[in-house]
Amino acid sequence: MPELLTYEDFFYPMESPKPIQNLQIRLTLYNNHIQQTILATEFQELKDLISQNDFNCWLEIHGLKSSEDLKEISEFFNIDFLIQQDILNKTHPTKIEFREKFIFLISKIFENNHSEQLHEEQITILCGERFVLCFEESGNHFFESVHEAISSNTLNIRSQNSEYLFFKLIKEISQNHISTIQNLSDQLEFQEDVLLAFKNSQTSSTSLQNFRHQYTQLKKNIPVLLQEFQKFEQTTIHKNMRPFFNDLLDHLKMSIQNLEATKENLDSIVELYVSNMNLKLNEIIKRLTIISTIFIPLTFMAGIWGMNFKYMPELYSPYGYPLAIISMAITGLLIYLYFRNHDW
């Protein structure tokens, strides 16, 4: 992907894996007494509403495709050039920055869709005084539970400032990480049962490759989020928000612990798979050994009787052929019974 900072003009470098036809903007205004949600396709329609000083403002932008739309929003909220470039970069690694006027987060959410393929989507959140901006790739409304909390004023959420909403959104992202890890863990447990049943080895190999890929996706994003948060002292957080900040850190640490447990489980399943393959190989070698051991003396006997020496009484006996066959059969049976008695 081209380096965005080398261009004077903005551009959107890639298409979303779940594209939507038009820009979708969802504005939620709330205070202690009232909550209002407005849907729009152009930011121009919402400027007057956002300018009101009586509300906290939560703006969700879905399917950003035009850099002009971002310019208009950035100029209104005084978002600097570097942050705009990070918003446009859909492959930007996870990070968080506590600046003088903003808290800026880039993170990933995951969706499994009941399959072994893990869909990854980037979410960018920017928090300032009295407003929170969310830039999402697709039209999925990931934060519906937060909207419901604001609508019903759960735990008096409408009386809190925008920083509280910011931490609430990150907690939802962290919960998505935890549920994704749990889903991967459940799939690994099922795969372990398959391996212990000693079945479907080829399917297991393909599944394990997918599981390792899923773990790699999670590993690239989840630990980084905790590392970024731990860079900042609590003094950078408003005093009233520090308990929520600590609660968020606990959730992030929990996701890391679950991820490490999943890694151990994945490693043990890989070892079990390799062990199963070795056992199957040993079983095949054992069977070939038994067959070879049975037929080696029979081949020796056939070789003896196949020699055309003149003075071989067996060659002229009328019972030579049936006796040779019977002796070979008895020899093979005795060898088979020997292996069977020794649990081969």
Q: From the DSSP assignment, how many helices (H) and strands (E) are in the chain?
A: 9, 7
pLDDT for the residue numbered 57: 92
Q: At what angle do helices 242-305 and 162-196 cross, to 10 degrees?
A: 20
pLDDT for the residue numbered 200: 55
**Taking a C-beta distance cutoff of 8 angstroms, is the pair 273, 200 a contact?**
no
- Topology of domain 286-341, per CATH? Methane Monooxygenase Hydroxylase; Chain G, domain 1 (1.20.58)
Q: Where are the domains of the chain?
A: 1-158, 286-341
pLDDT for the residue numbered 4: 44
Q: What percent of the chain has pLDDT over 90?
A: 6
Element spanning 180, H or E: helix 162-196
pLDDT for the residue numbered 28: 92
Instruction: Say if domain 1-158 classifies as CATH 3.30.460.20.
Output: yes
CA distance 64 to 121: 13
Fold match flag (1-158 vs 286-341)? no
* Sheet order of strands, 119-128 included: 35-40, 24-30, 56-62, 131-136, 119-128, 103-111, 95-98
**Taking a C-beta distance cutoff of 8 angstroms, is the pair 79, 126 a contact?**
yes
Q: What is the DSSP string of 127-144?
A: EETTEEEEEESSS--TTH
For the segment 189-234, what is each residue's pLDDT rounded down to a tens digit? 888 887 777 665 556 677 788 888 888 888 888 888 888 777 765 5
For the segment 263-273, what is each residue's pLDDT rounded down to a tens digit? 888 888 888 88
Average pLDDT for the chain: 81
Mean pLDDT over 9-24 rounds to 53
Alpha helices in 197-241 (DSSP H): 201-230
**Taking a C-beta distance cutoff of 8 angstroms, is the pair 118, 131 a contact?**
no
Mean pLDDT over 27-31 rounds to 90
Report whether pLDDT(9) > 70: no
- Positive or negative CA dihedral for 250, 252, 255, 256? negative
